[in-house]
Amino acid sequence: MSKGSSTNQPWKTDDWFVSEWNFLEEVTKSFNPPTKVRIHDITLRDGEQQAGIIFTKDDKIRIADKLAEVGVHRIEAGMPAVSARDEAAIREIVKRNLPSDIFCFCRCMVKDVELAADCGVKGIVIEIPASKHLIEQGYKWPLEKAIDLSIKATAHAKEKGLYTVFFTIDATRSDLQWLLNLVNRVATEGHMDAFSLVDTFGVLSPHAATYFTKKVKERVTKPLEIHFHSDFGMGVANTINAVLAGAEVIHSTVLGIGERAGNTPMEQTVLALLTMYGIDVGLNYRKMNELSKLVQELAGVQIPSCTPFIGDGAYTIESGIVTGWFKNAFEKNPTTVFPVHPDFVGHEAPKIAMGKKSGLDNIWVWAKNLGIELSEEEAMEILLEVKLKSHDLKRVLTEREFEEICEGRRGNR
């Protein structure tokens, strides 16, 4: 918990202020989270699968170093079978002896397992298609081939001493009983240390995520991991529901980058768990923006300015009403205005913008910061001109544009 927080009032601390309703017994009575939740970062593998993103070896090393600094428990450093350069990056990350466990991704092929073991990783996530339509239509395989490959490759992983996470592609569009029978055969005839709940195409609803997790727990005694995509924008909600049903490890990416519409974004997931459910995954939350800006730079992607916690505009105010709240409350009661304090996530200080939606409080804040003295009448006239100019420009104003408006109005007197 944050410094100054109280276990008796977990919804309101020095660093956040969320709804007390989140912690009511009638809300939480069905929750059954594990005692510890860990983060398995997949930015360097599934994140890079977003079209147009390319991480060099040096990029991957820099990101891995920062992930470890933030306290991420596991880093999936890539898939060595993809290219010699990916393999080299994985080997170098392993050599750095980071505090995070280093994993890599494999197909259910013995040669992939051999290569992973030779790279020196602690564990592997090993994939196999697990829906009848994908196996028959996408891979053109008989169903039994998927099972045989899984058993042989996972058994070999055990021989190599690799922690093995069995990963079933497109599980959420498969027949559940067929899926569970596949998992049981691999667990008994092959090997797995953990099983990953996989929503490859982001097609689960939050309620179905709870159902999926509970049903698997009825049949699988191994630890459960969560790998959900965000094609319908449900990645965070689905992941949280799976945690509340007992899954222990979250697969996520920085910024939510990944195949198609991306993976579950780490920042939103861990902060929601912390502030709304009292589940602290143990990261250094104050380095969230350092990490996100590094990945944005190296991935060459832009995120919406309103992205929670890490967007450039996540702590920017233009509205006159909210500027009034900020002016009156922020200094002594910052979480009255922002539910999570910007310092807690390492975001820069809040900004007051000047534009079409601004009010007199915006004028007073800017005038004070720029050392401009205005009368009430001048402030109102300037506000009206600000609104018009911002409307015509279709953007907020710069300080110089605001100063010119002030100079022009005052010069006319």
Per residue in 48-105, pLDDT tens? 999 999 999 999 999 999 999 999 999 999 999 999 999 999 999 999 999 999 999 9
User: Over 60: is that where the pLDDT of 384 sits?
Assistant: yes
How far is Cα 201 from Cα 240, in angstroms, rounded to an integer? Answer: 17
- Looking at residue 44, its pLDDT comes to 98
Is 153 inside a domain boundary? yes
Residue 18 counted as domain residue: no
**102 plus 231 within the same structural domain:** yes
Same domain, 345 and 243: no
- Kindly report, residue by residue over 170-194, the tens digit of the pLDDT: 999 998 998 898 888 888 999 999 9
* 46 pLDDT above the threshold of 60: yes
> Could you tell me if 252 and 119 lie in one domain?
yes
Question: Of 270, 299, 328, at which residue does a domain stop?
Answer: 299
User: Same domain for 92 and 203?
Assistant: yes
Q: Looking at the structure, do residues 289 and 334 belong to the same domain, yes or no?
A: no
Residues 289 and 377 in one domain: no
Same domain, 322 and 200: no
Q: Is 168 inside a domain boundary? A: yes
Residue 6 in this model has a pLDDT that exceeds 80: no
CA-to-CA distance for 160 and 104, rounded, in angstroms? 14
Confidence check: pLDDT of 351 > 80 = yes
Q: How many domains does the chain have?
A: 2
132 part of a folded domain: yes
CB 1 within 8 A of CB 10: yes
Which of 299, 327, 349 marks a domain boundary? 299
In this prediction, residue 148 carries a pLDDT of 85
- Same domain? For 132 and 105 the reply is yes
Q: Tell me which residue range forms the domain holding 329.
A: 316-411
Question: Tokens 């970062």 map to which residue?
Answer: 41
Asked whether residue 41 is assigned to any structural domain, the reply reads yes
The pLDDT, as a whole number, for residue 138 is 73
To the nearest whole number, what is the mean pLDDT of the chain?
Answer: 94
pLDDT at residue 169, rounded to an integer? 87
Asked if 281 and 194 sit in the same domain, the reply is: yes
Boundary-marking domain end, from 299, 329, 346: 299
What Cα–Cα distance (Å) separates residue 364 from each residue in 99, 143, 187, 304, 402? 49, 70, 67, 29, 12
Q: Does pTM top 0.85 for this prediction? A: yes
pLDDT category at 232 given cuts 50, 70, 90 is: very high
Q: Is residue 2 part of a domain?
A: no
Report, as an integer, the average pLDDT of 362-379. Answer: 94
CA neighbor of 157 nearest in space, from 199, 123, 205, 189 = 123
Span 322-337, mean pLDDT?
95
Mean pLDDT is lowest, of 15-24, 209-218, 365-374, 401-410, for: 401-410
Is residue 25 situated within a structural domain?
Answer: no
Please indicate, yes or no, if residue 196 is contained in any of the structural domains: yes
Residues 274 and 322 reside in one and the same domain? no
Task: Specify the pLDDT at position 150.
Answer: 86
Residues 276, 402, single domain; the answer is: no
What CATH number did the domain enclosing 75 receive? 3.20.20.70
Residue ranges of alpha helices (H) inside 2-160 are 25-28, 57-70, 84-95, 110-119, 132-133, 143-159
> Are 290 and 328 in a shared domain?
no
